[in-house]
Amino acid sequence: MIEKKVAIVTGAAQGMGYEVFHALAVRGYVAVGIDIQEEKLHKIKGVAEKDKLAVEAFYADVSDSTQVNEIIDQVYRIYGSIDVLVNAAGVLSQGEVTTLSDEAWERTFAVNTSGVFHVSKAVCNRMKENKQGSIVTISSNAASVPRTSMASYCASKAASLMFTKCLGLEMASYGIRCNIVSPGATDTEMQRAFWNEEADIEKGIKGIPEQYRVGIPLQKIANTSDITEAVLFLLSENASHITMNNIVVDGGATLGAQ
């Protein structure tokens, strides 16, 4: 058995997932990263180990429940506890509904929704044994506001948000808290792939009337650290009486809609 708390982070190889993974390791957790990007995952593990941080890395597709269950069982056998889960794995597909492929729709839900279900289910079955734990799902402000050409993403994130709230209700009697952080536009690899050019950043901040976007009142996009701090708060003892809650970190882009 190990005395350190154990945190599992999906999508740990880049973006928000990586920032959370690294922040938890720095704070003394055994940080267990899960990602489908095997090369990136092992690279960040090597960097963390050079800094003498306690980390583990597992290659897996979160949409595959068999892979997920094997990893969670292995982590539990090694450490005897899973204290924290952050569901950060996600994909973004664009396209109008009438032209969106079945494959794009299904893959978006497989990762963004079913992936959250598979990992949360496996982890909760272990957390229940110890009657404690904290889970944060990274959703999106797009879960509550319609977006053009983003129906699959919006719908999948809305589903994972409500799933996490339902999970929190079921797990409350075991002392397991389940919350959501919903970012808006954030400076990540995924977001930059969404922008075709640098001017798109300014357009997103100012607003895009033809896409029914009002812009960002705080006049800036988020850094990954903005999202990480919200996640860390919800995981911490400072949030010990908070569950089934959603913190929207979008600079006011959705005008407070949740």
Provide the phi-psi class of 4: left if phi over 0, else alpha when psi is between -120 and 50, else beta: beta
Element (H, E) at 162: helix 151-171
Q: Averaged over 164-178, what is the pLDDT? A: 98
pLDDT of residue 1: 45
201 or 61, which is more confident? 61
d(CA 179, CA 186): 20
Residue 152 has pLDDT above 70, yes or no: yes
Catalytic residue (choose from 18, 29, 79, 153): 153
Which pLDDT score, from 0 to 100, does residue 121 have?
Answer: 98
Residue 52's φ and ψ, nearest 5 degrees, are 60, 35
- Looking at the predicted structure, is the pLDDT value of residue 2 above 60? no
pLDDT at 7 over 70: yes
Least confident of 162-171, 176-185, 201-210, 227-236: 201-210
Q: Is 107 exposed, middle or buried (0-12, 13-18, 19+ CB in 10 A)?
A: middle
CATH class held by domain 6-184+227-248: alpha beta
- Measure the CA–CA gap between 52 and 179, rounded to whole angstroms: 30
Residue 234 pLDDT:
98
Residue 59 is a catalytic residue = no
Write out the DSSP string of 74-116: HHHHHHS---EEEE---------TTT--HHHHHHHHIIIIIHH
CB atoms within 10 A of CB 241: 7
Identify the residue with better confidence: 236 or 189.
Answer: 236
Is the pLDDT higher at 40 or at 191? 40
Look at residue 9 in the predicted model and tell me its pLDDT: 98
**What mean pLDDT comes out for the span 25-53?**
96
**What pLDDT, on the 0 to 100 scale, is given for residue 140?**
97
- Phi/psi for 229 (5° steps) reads -65, -35
Q: What residues contact residue 70 under an 8 Å CB cut-off, 6+ apart?
A: none
Provide CATH 3.40.50.720 ranges for the chain: 6-184+227-248
Residue recorded with tokens 């976007």: 213
Per the model's pLDDT, the better-predicted residue between 203 and 143 turns out to be: 143
Structure confidence at residue 197 as a pLDDT band (50, 70, 90): low
- Dihedral over alpha carbons 238, 241, 243, 245 (to 10 degrees): -70
What is the Cα–Cα distance from 36 to 85, expressed in whole angstroms? 17
Question: What rounded mean pLDDT belongs to the chain?
Answer: 94
Q: What is the pLDDT of residues 81-136, one digit of tens each?
A: 999 999 999 999 999 999 999 999 999 999 999 999 999 999 999 999 999 999 99
Running DSSP on this structure, what letter comes out for residue 200? H
The predicted pLDDT at position 18 comes to 96
